[in-house]
């Protein structure tokens, strides 16, 4: 499989461009309002507060959108939840992270996602994916989600999305306040703000796609079973065809599986093509 170094270099390049957008944003604000200590402090506090709100609200919204509930620690009906807890505990020990809160949900499709950070992580697994996969395949999925927590992917994605939102807002209002402030100016400002946000999001989505490859690689490494992870992706992709996922707009970027067709959709996709992920796992 392609090593982490190549992926990390690409993520570093995209991340550097993303940071450049934030630096330009900060420069624009200080040029407009001054470079004093108070302005700098307000800029930093505002940025941190905005990211913090998006992180907290996003986590709450993702769990609520799929109706996630705490996973019991023993078997119930046809579900051997105790074995899932045990596998997760073992994987966490291998990865050197705290065991996250495990939750289950009826998502309408076989899928899973992680939210939170190392000390406060949550992994949500759909009943559909438990029904579909063999236990070693499910372990690969869980390891993938744990890798996202270990690598702080959720925090990084929230940070990137926040920068995109802030850039869009600043561009919109900079144009509005610098114009005649009529209805045409407001409309043009909204369009320019949206375009600016979309440009930044191209780099955010690129980072997301790279991190999916890294999480796949980590799952293969810690389970020592890349083939099981490849089979899981095949089954998930097949099982999701023609079905709609509960809360898709809220949690799509967080899930283990995502699909996109068309050149423009692929540019803004949070996930690389499933076929490419499977190919990399089978050459790992």
Tens digits of residue pLDDT in 152-205: 888 888 888 888 888 888 888 878 877 666 788 888 889 998 998 898 888 888
Residue 194 inside a domain? The answer is yes
Residue 73 inside a domain? The answer is no
| pLDDT at residue 132 in the model | 95
Confirm if 259 and 241 have CB atoms less than 8 A apart. no
Residue 90 inside a domain? The answer is no
As a whole number of angstroms, the distance between CA 247 and CA 64 comes to 8
| pLDDT at residue 94 in the model | 94
User: In which residue are the tokens 């690969």 written?
Assistant: 140
Residue 109 inside a domain? The answer is no
Catalytic site residue 145? yes
| pLDDT at residue 208 in the model | 87
Residue 163 inside a domain? The answer is yes
| pLDDT at residue 9 in the model | 73
Task: Give the pLDDT confidence of 61-86 residue by residue, as tens digits.
Answer: 889 999 999 999 998 888 999 999 99
Reading the block at residue 239, the tokens are 């099982």
In 144-192 the beta strands, taken as DSSP E runs, fall at none
| Active-site hit among 145, 227, 246, 276 | 145
Residue 104 inside a domain? The answer is no
Residue 78 inside a domain? The answer is no
Half-sphere exposure of 203 (CA within 13 A, CB side): 23
Q: What is the crossing angle of helices 153-177 and 183-223, to 10°?
A: 170
Long-range contacts of 69-78 (CB under 8 A, 24+ apart): 69/103, 69/104, 69/105, 70/101, 70/102, 70/103, 71/102, 71/103, 71/104, 71/125, 78/131
Confirm if 47 and 170 have CB atoms less than 8 A apart. no
The neighbour count for residue 77, using CB atoms within 10 Å, is 6
Domain that holds residue 208: 4-66+148-282
As a whole number of angstroms, the distance between CA 146 and CA 278 comes to 19
Residue 132 inside a domain? The answer is no
Q: Which residue has the higher pLDDT, 58 or 265?
A: 58
As a whole number of angstroms, the distance between CA 210 and CA 272 comes to 8
In this prediction, residues 235-263 reach a mean pLDDT of: 67
Task: Give the pLDDT confidence of 80-113 residue by residue, as tens digits.
Answer: 999 999 999 999 999 999 999 999 999 988 999 9
Number of domains in the chain: 1
């Amino acid at each position: 499989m392609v090593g982490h170094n190549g992926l990390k270099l690409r993520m570093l390049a995209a991340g550097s461009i993303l940071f450049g957008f934030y630096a330009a944003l900060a420069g624009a604000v200080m040029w407009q309002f001054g470079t004093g200590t108070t302005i700098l402090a307000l800029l930093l506090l505002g940025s941190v507060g905005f990211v913090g709100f998006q992180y907290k609200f996003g986590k709450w919204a993702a769990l609520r959108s799929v109706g996630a509930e705490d996973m019991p620690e023993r078997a119930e009906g046809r579900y051997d939840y105790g074995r899932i807890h045990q596998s997760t505990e073992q994987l966490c020990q291998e990865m050197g992270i705290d065991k996250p809160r495990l939750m289950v949900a009826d998502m309408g499709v076989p899928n899973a996602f992680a939210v939170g950070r190392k000390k406060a992580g949550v992994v949500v697994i759909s009943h559909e994916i438990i029904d579909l996969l063999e236990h070693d395949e499910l372990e690969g999925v869980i390891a993938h989600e744990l890798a996202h927590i270990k690598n702080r992917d959720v925090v990084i994605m929230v940070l990137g999305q926040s920068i995109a939102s802030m850039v869009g807002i600043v561009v919109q209002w900079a144009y509005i306040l610098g114009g005649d402030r009529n209805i045409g100016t407001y409309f043009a400002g909204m369009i320019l703000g949206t375009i600016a946000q979309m440009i930044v999001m191209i780099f955010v989505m690129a980072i997301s796609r790279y991190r999916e490859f890294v999480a796949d690689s980590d799952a293969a490494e810690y389970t020592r079973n890349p083939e099981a992870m490849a089979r899981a992706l095949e089954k998930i992709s097949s099982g999701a065809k023609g079905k709609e996922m509960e809360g898709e707009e809220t949690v799509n970027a967080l899930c283990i599986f995502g699909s996109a067709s068309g050149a423009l959709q692929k540019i803004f996709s949070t996930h690389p093509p499933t076929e490419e992920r499977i190919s990399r796992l089978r050459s790992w």
